[in-house]
Structure 1
């Protein structure tokens, strides 16, 4: 089933903090090595927010970057959707903080927590709101400061996570809409394998560890993703009446390079058609896809009109896959 759409992605902006955490730095913190990390994850560096730098700060700088690059105006946006699991506050929302910073009037503002699938969830929601006629111009922003909730005594997980933010503008375009189809689902019984505790410390009777830090059973997350995502890719292609050859770029959540390679092998996707951000930014959760897109823009890989298969997946477990036409003009 093809998606009804009257919207396209029309602009992009990103920001990552200046502070770098290399594999060599991690060797001084936990029992690990550059070789061990690279072999298992493909990661070389991550960016970390400073002590007084928070998710809203990263998101604001990503929007400022978009605003600088966008040839139109943002004064007429009518909704802000922010995907994050590391908001500055329980409330107000990060979206409200962004609205206040830029001073936009008559703008809706909401945060979405779909973990690492947040960017694709946000894009899916923006397309629906615009196509329905309720809105015309929506900022979809993903930002994370995962370093603030990472347990740096856990050698298996602290090597993974980094901080960053990205913004995409979605606006009404009836002549050249960009959203083709989607697939979405949830496997809630996988929640115990990837979580961060909040107001309660149990899950259906199970006692949870973590004390506010992220806890991940990497093996179970890996198995679920490699088993599930290739089938989702097949569904997307069937619904869009497309073949793999019609896809210019596969852009999955950059969780782990080895995981992505396994997914590609099972799905029959050549690795040279994959865009990632994991090597130099680590796992940035919901921000990873937009960071990968912008790296491709900056390296002159991604062109207007390219067909993209975006696939966000993560804690919950939850996922959203999209096939879209890239609608951002060259700079």
Structure 2
């Protein structure tokens, strides 16, 4: 197992990685394109690579953090604890620092049996079984307590808001930022512009077509978006946001019901990954949830501090949901 700076990858290593991604990849964060964009956004990217596995990390000088949550390994055996241990130990030898794998599949908790690793619980990931191609979304949402879905859909269509599906390129990236700048995230310091490296990352990935954006438009102006990455039979909904002036339309609900169905029906998709823990919107739509953990290997005190911070955020989000409030209220 070699650990190489992104800029020092040999052409044959990059070609081997791309072949593995084309063969085994299930998450866009496992791709060379994603690592390239993270590096261009200003992060130092380390690549742990062997003939059997690839994993990427950002490196801060103290801690190396896995780029891909859920399944950080790209290999034929993506849940292999033995391969994961080999990767983590190689990164620790190369950097002398700690290794953090956030929000990974709970199956990796078996690594703690070997003494070097600690773990703490995180909220589960929400997914939609797409076997029925989205035809069951409305009924599921209605059965879970929202009587607004049909009313909001009629309101959207009555007032002439339209879907603009699967866009990429520079204009799509600009429209996405413009919406995010008018969202609740902007007023609470959580927007992409407030996180400059995040904006640079997603802008590049939309511009080069790695990710696509589906918009809701009013008179051709983007007023809401959903950011997607498709890999094989899986669609990941990485972000969605809307202009606060259009809040009465519940744009997120529309994009994750009508928008998803129109875009991905009969396209060979099997799973729609809502890419995150429970909230009021995901609660209406998911079919199953996958347990997740954070995995830590390294400085014990630093790990305890990080666990306390992550779990405090999780608690704020959970309290907001229990009170019937949206995610924004966790950042007040």
Q: Which has the higher helix share?
A: 2
Q: With CA pairs under 8 Å and 6+ residues apart, which has the higher RCO, 1 or 2?
A: 1
Which band: TM-score by shorter chain? under 0.3
Q: TM-score, normalised by structure 2?
A: 0.24
